[in-house]
Every structure is written in C-alpha cells, then in structure tokens.
Structure 1
Amino acid sequence: MTQTANQTAAPHRLRIKLRLEYDSPLILGPGKAELLSRIGRLGSISAAAREMGMSYKRAWTLVEEMNAAFADPVIDSARGGAGGGGATVTPTGQQVLAHYRALETLLREAGHDDLQALNALLRPERAD
C-alpha cells in the first residue's frame, strides 16, 4: 500500500471525548483522563494540576465533576496539613481510565483507515 506525503508527514492525533449521560451529562476526554493518570502517578491533585499547567481550582472542579457523575468516586482525597494530604485514584477511577484508554486504542486500531481518510481530507497546514 502506498502512502501519500500527507499521510506520512505526521501521524494523526486522536483525541476522543465521550459524552456519558444518565441523570447529568459527563464529558470524559483527554484532559480528565490525563488528570486521573497523573493523580494516580503523583498522589496529589495539586501536583497533577501543576504538571499539566492547570490551576488547582480547575483540577478540583474536574475531580468533583467526575466524582459526582459516577456511582462511586474516582478520586479519594485527604486534606493537607501537618499529616500531609494526598489523593488516590480509586478502583472505580482505575476502571474508568482503563476503559477510556481501551476505547482510544480500539478507535486508533480498528478505525485506522477511516482516520487516515479523514486526515487526508483536512486542509493542509499553513506555514505562517
């Protein structure tokens, strides 16, 4: 199979946003997935926010949004202070992240030809 310069110049980036609805809509996208992943790695909402260049308030808002949307919290946090604080990704949060990553992989692999076709239809980037 021959690839055009457009297809080989840069691989397409895949950023999926899932709109999950029940009583209240939740949009789960790359930002929330990355926040979950970093909180899991760093054990801190503030450290994850800093690493992402996000305000602590914004990170907390996203965590609260996710915790409110799922039947069980995705992040468990403890206040700071003398004993220290911290945050952990709960088993539910780990499942949410694993399912989101699996869907990314599924779409990237099973949808490869369609993604390439869509990419080929994009307007070429301008060098300004």
Structure 2
Amino acid sequence: MRVTVADVVAVGPGKVDLLEAIREHGSISAAARSLDMSYRRAWLLLQEINQSMRRPAVLSEHGGEHRGGSTLTPEGEDVIRLYRAIEAQASAACSAEIKALLKLLA
C-alpha cells in the first residue's frame, strides 16, 4: 500500500521499513546499510516522509563528540503502527483474492 500526498508517495512499504530500521539501529546510515540502501537514498526518502507530515517522523542530531544519531518521533512510531495494522487488516480481508492472485504467479 502506498499513500500519496500531492504527487509524492508519503508512506509506502520501503519507507516504513526504513523507519523501522532507524528505530532499530538509531541512525540513518546504519538503517540504510541494513536495508542495502545508500545513505543518500535513505536521506531522500526521509525527507519526503518528513515533508509530507504535519510533524516529522524522524529527528536527527548531527555528528560530533557523541556522533549524532536519529530517533523516531511519536508520529513516526504512529506511522509504523498504523501502516502495519492496515496491512494486516487488508491481508485478512483479501485473503481469497491474494490466494487466487498467487496461483497466477510463477
């Protein structure tokens, strides 16, 4: 599922995976590495997410003595929770159609 705001995909599976990886690793660079994604790609995805939201999903501190890091805001946590709940409900509601579609795939 993808949610668009204006002409930008504000939330989709890759962006939610990135948010979960940031929650797990505490930094954009470590999250990007865990997803086999460039730092630049991760940063651009986060920029799209944050610009699409009323409040940012991720807050980052620049490097320095304590080397910075990134954390999810409560809104970022809500994005993950709501997206995964929608996925689960859609999967349950469409299980027959998903099975039929899978029979058509190699």
Same fold (TM over 0.5): yes
Residues 8 and 48 of structure 2 are in contact (CA less than 8 Å); yes or no, is this contact kept in structure 1? no
Residues of 1 paired with 2:7 and 2:71: CA distance? 24
User: 1:104 maps to what in 2?
Assistant: 87
Report the 3-state secondary structure (helix = DSSP H, G, I; strand = E; otherwise coil) of the residue aligned with 2:59: strand
Of the two, which has the highest radius of gyration?
A: 1
1:64-75 aligned at under 5 Å gives the runs 64-75=47-58
State the shift of 1:26 in Å: 2.4
Residues of 1 paired with 2:89 and 2:47: CA distance? 28
Report the 3-state secondary structure (helix = DSSP H, G, I; strand = E; otherwise coil) of the residue aligned with 2:71: strand
TM-score normalised according to structure 2 size: 0.91
Residues of 1 paired with 2:10 and 2:66: CA distance? 34
User: 2:14 maps to what in 1?
Assistant: 31
User: Which segments of 5 or more consecutive residues in structure 2 lack a partner in the other structure?
Assistant: none
Residues of 2 paired with 1:19 and 1:67: CA distance? 14
User: 1:93 maps to what in 2?
Assistant: 76
Corresponding pairs, count = 106
Report the 3-state secondary structure (helix = DSSP H, G, I; strand = E; otherwise coil) of the residue aligned with 2:3: strand
Residues of 1 paired with 2:48 and 2:8: CA distance? 10
State the shift of 1:103 in Å: 1.0
User: 1:80 maps to what in 2?
Assistant: 63
Look up the equivalent residue of 1:25 and give its one-letter code: V
User: 2:101 maps to what in 1?
Assistant: 118
Residues 24 and 69 of structure 1 are in contact (CA less than 8 Å); yes or no, is this contact kept in structure 2? no
State the shift of 1:19 in Å: 2.8
User: Which segments of 5 or more consecutive residues in structure 1 lack a partner in the other structure?
Assistant: 1-16
Deviations 1:25-55 (A, max 9, x none): 3242221111000101111110000111111
Please state which structure has a larger fraction of its residues in helix: 2
User: 1:44 maps to what in 2?
Assistant: 27
